[in-house]
């Protein structure tokens, strides 16, 4: 339940905020070229060699997202003038610098998705801090703006949120527990009572469903997201503001047979006057402002 009154709205007067998240991971996945023990599994098949050999075929499968998927996705976002949060593994952007102008042209936010698209939950605290700093600094160097948000690859550590708060991040995405942002307290020697804003993500409205549910049709995914928008918009009109996330991947949604589903979602959003499409940074800032107005 929202802690804000039912007449509380997002900055444009809407009660539902919609966050488009474009994950850029291609080129930062597991690869023995980068010192990993084995290559990344093939997305569509969940299969990978167990021996220490380069999987050139799967590297090209990932590269599809950069070469073919990215222009489609960013062109469509530009057509509808919708801002997205690009959660980028910094190395992926370093290896595909041609994406940076596309991102900046669309006035999209760039958040950190690690330096590489690898698991950080096995890292020591010092290793994790260095990993976070390296990603943050690389993205700032490439885009000219220090990233505000962080998304891990699936799992994080007990230290992650504290490190993020200490390193100046505004929000953390590794949470699926709510339809609104909320604060998480962190124990920090740097500042008593330090906290970080959690801007929850979502798995059910993520295009990774095309991997985990091979029989899922693009129209089914589209319908599910449209149903989610409809339900939350109605709920927000009676109970106070809500937010909804849609997770995209260049090598997944960027396939020709899936783009029409994304088009359908964006078209529906363009037809509605009760949904605010915004970056996660803007949603975070709006939430903080909303909290100041209604709880002080």
Question: What is the pLDDT at residue 118?
Answer: 87
Indicate the pLDDT class of residue 198, thresholds 50, 70 and 90: very high
Distance of CA 259 to the CA centre of its chain: 18
DSSP 132-156: HHHHHHHHHHHHSS---EE--SS--
CA distances from 294 to 3, 157, 179 (A): 9, 33, 18
> What's the average model confidence in pLDDT over 262-283?
98
Answer for the pair 287, 239: CB distance below 8 angstroms, yes or no.
no
pLDDT (0 to 100) of residue 157 = 87
Helix (H) or strand (E) holding 239: helix 218-239
What integer is the mean pLDDT of 121-139?
95
Kindly report the pTM of this predicted structure: 0.94
Number of H helices, E strands in the chain: 11, 9
Is pLDDT above 90 for 70? Answer: yes
Section 180-185 average pLDDT? 95
Residue 190 has pLDDT above 70, yes or no: no
Which residues are bridge partners to 150 per DSSP? 112, 172
Q: What are the residues whose beta carbons fall under 8 Å from the beta carbon of 201, sequence distance 6 or more?
A: 21, 151, 173, 174, 175, 176, 245, 247
Q: What is the DSSP letter of 47?
A: B
Measured between alpha carbons, how far is 48 from 35 in angstroms, rounded to an integer?
16
Q: What is the pLDDT of residue 275?
A: 98
CATH 3.20.20.370: does it fit domain 16-295? Answer: yes
Query: Given a cut of 70, is residue 268 above it in pLDDT?
Result: yes
Residue 183, φ and ψ in degrees, nearest 5 = -95, 145
Residue 161: which of 123, 201, 129 has the closest Cα?
A: 129
């Amino acid at each position: 339940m929202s802690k804000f009154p039912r007449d509380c709205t997002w900055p444009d007067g809407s009660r539902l905020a919609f966050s488009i998240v474009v994950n850029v991971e291609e080129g930062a996945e597991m690869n023995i070229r980068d010192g990993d023990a084995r290559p990344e599994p093939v997305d569509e098949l969940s299969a990978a060699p167990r021996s220490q050999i380069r999987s050139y075929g799967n590297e090209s499968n990932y590269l599809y997202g950069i070469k073919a998927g990215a222009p489609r996705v960013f062109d469509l976002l530009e057509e509808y003038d919708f801002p997205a949060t690009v959660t980028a593994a910094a190395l992926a952007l370093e290896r595909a610098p041609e994406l940076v102008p596309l991102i900046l042209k669309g006035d999209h936010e760039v958040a950190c998705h690690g330096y590489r698209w690898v698991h950080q939950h096995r890292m020591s605290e010092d290793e994790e801090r260095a990993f976070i700093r390296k990603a943050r600094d690389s993205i700032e160097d490439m885009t000219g703006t220090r990233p505000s948000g962080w998304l891990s690859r699936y799992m994080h550590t007990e230290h992650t949120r504290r490190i993020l708060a200490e390193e100046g991040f505004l929000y953390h995405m590794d949470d699926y527990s709510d339809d609104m942002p909320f604060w998480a307290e962190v124990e920090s020697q740097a500042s008593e009572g330090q906290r970080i804003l959690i801007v929850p993500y979502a798995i059910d409205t993520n295009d990774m469903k095309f991997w985990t549910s091979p029989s899922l049709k693009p129209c089914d995914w589209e319908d599910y997201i449209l149903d989610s928008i409809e339900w939350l918009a109605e709920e927000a009109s009676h109970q106070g503001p809500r937010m909804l996330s849609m997770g995209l991947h260049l090598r997944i949604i960027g396939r020709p047979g899936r783009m029409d589903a994304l088009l359908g979602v964006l078209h529906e959003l363009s037809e509605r006057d009760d949904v605010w499409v915004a970056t996660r940074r803007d949603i975070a800032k709006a939430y903080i402002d909303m909290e100041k107005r209604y709880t002080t």
